[in-house]
A = this chain, B = another copy of it.
């Protein structure tokens, strides 16, 4: 095999597929990037068996062929080369020579025969979402998946298609994040549970332009994202997702409108008094015209009041400050509305159209503390 391509194109391709290279594995071939120059275009592929990424790069195929190269060393070499044309050439012993200007690197490649190619996907449906919207909806929900593996379903996000709506849901047992987005057309109803890692990787490689689309398709076991000459194939998480709608409610006893930035900054300050691991709640003392935020720990105490618009009863309720911060950070609006029932019932932060709903469970607190 011999190919020529320029550094910028190769580097972009290598960075893209590297997301599917596992950081730890007992199978050295999974640590490789496959360079496939057997057809008319140069394709790079990496596949950790749960997630596979393939991307096409510009370049010239001088001699057809395939080679698998250690992803880490390959991407480091490419990154450090001068901004110029790169030649990659292999011999019969899989020895690979990378040349750029006067620099010449030799390293041992692996046979493409060992490589796990991406599964072939039969595409029945395809759904278009703008890159920007997909990236945003992931950012606005991904923080509340669970990171432990005791409940596999919690490590993924529900992608629920119905009519012309996509609802994305994540939950970790303490909170639920829900975002609804309008699609350009009606699609078949379908529920998919997509691994959190896949979504996190997608946000890193999708450029996020508003007028470029990602094309989604799926089978029973896989979801496919196509954009920008790149195909990402991920396994789905098996099983029925949690019944979210039973947990949602429109009743409330207290409704609070508050400036988001002030609320967020104040909670952020309160976290100074919370050492990692100790579960000190922040106490919201909701009065007629202001919320008083209070936190007290061995280190010291904080007390701050913020003006609000309130309907309904006064209420004192405690939260894990991190959960409030996570939700407030991904809400773009200047003002948010909290709906509360009592000190033991979940708090809902949502907009009127319910394009977003963040449900957060309160924590017990000792008023005297």
Chain A residues within 8 Å of B, Cβ to Cβ: 73, 76-77, 80-82, 102-108, 265-266, 268-269, 272, 299-306
* CB-contact partner of A268 in B80, B107, B303, under 8 A: B80
Decide: A103 near B272, CB < 8 A? Known: A73-B300, A300-B73: no
Decide if B303 touches A80 in the complex (CB within 8 Å): no
Decide if B107 touches A299 in the complex (CB within 8 Å): yes
Chain B residue at minimum C-beta to C-beta distance from A292: B102
Decide: A104 near B304, CB < 8 A? Known: A77-B269, A272-B77: yes
Decide: A302 near B73, CB < 8 A? Known: A80-B268, A80-B272, A268-B80: no
Decide if B103 touches A300 in the complex (CB within 8 Å): no
* CB-contact partner of A300 in B107, B269, B299, under 8 A: B107
For the complex of A and B, list the 9 residue pairs with the smallest distance between their C-beta atoms, beginning with the closest.
Answer: A107-B300, A103-B304, A80-B269, A104-B303, A106-B301, A76-B272, A105-B302, A102-B305, A106-B300
Given contacts A102-B304, A107-B299, 16 further A-B contacts (CB under 8 A): A73-B272, A73-B299, A80-B272, A81-B269, A82-B265, A102-B305, A102-B306, A103-B269, A103-B302, A103-B303, A103-B304, A104-B304, A105-B272, A105-B300, A106-B303, A107-B301
In the bound complex, how far is the Cα of B300 from the Cα of A108, in angstroms? 7
Least CB distance from A280 to B in Å reads: 14
In the bound complex, how far is the Cα of B266 from the Cα of A352, in angstroms? 60
In the bound complex, how far is the Cα of B273 from the Cα of A107, in angstroms? 10
In the bound complex, how far is the Cα of B76 from the Cα of A269, in angstroms? 9
Chain B residue at minimum C-beta to C-beta distance from A294: B104
In the bound complex, how far is the Cα of B107 from the Cα of A314, in angstroms? 29
Decide if A104 touches B302 in the complex (CB within 8 Å): yes
Least CB distance from A303 to B in Å reads: 5
**Which residues of chain B come closer than 8 Å to A80, judged between CB atoms?**
265, 268-269, 272
**Which residues of chain B come closer than 8 Å to A77, judged between CB atoms?**
269, 272
In the bound complex, how far is the Cα of B301 from the Cα of A105, in angstroms? 6
Least CB distance from A82 to B in Å reads: 7
**Which residues of chain B come closer than 8 Å to A81, judged between CB atoms?**
269
In the bound complex, how far is the Cα of B301 from the Cα of A88, in angstroms? 15
Chain B residue at minimum C-beta to C-beta distance from A295: B105
**Which residues of chain B come closer than 8 Å to A104, judged between CB atoms?**
302-304
Chain B residue at minimum C-beta to C-beta distance from A69: B300
In the bound complex, how far is the Cα of B302 from the Cα of A103, in angstroms? 7
Chain B residue at minimum C-beta to C-beta distance from A101: B304
In the bound complex, how far is the Cα of B105 from the Cα of A304, in angstroms? 9
Least CB distance from A74 to B in Å reads: 10
* 19 A-B pairs with C-beta separation under 8 A: A73-B272, A73-B299, A76-B272, A77-B272, A80-B265, A80-B272, A81-B269, A102-B305, A103-B266, A103-B269, A103-B302, A103-B304, A104-B302, A105-B269, A105-B300, A105-B301, A105-B302, A106-B301, A106-B303
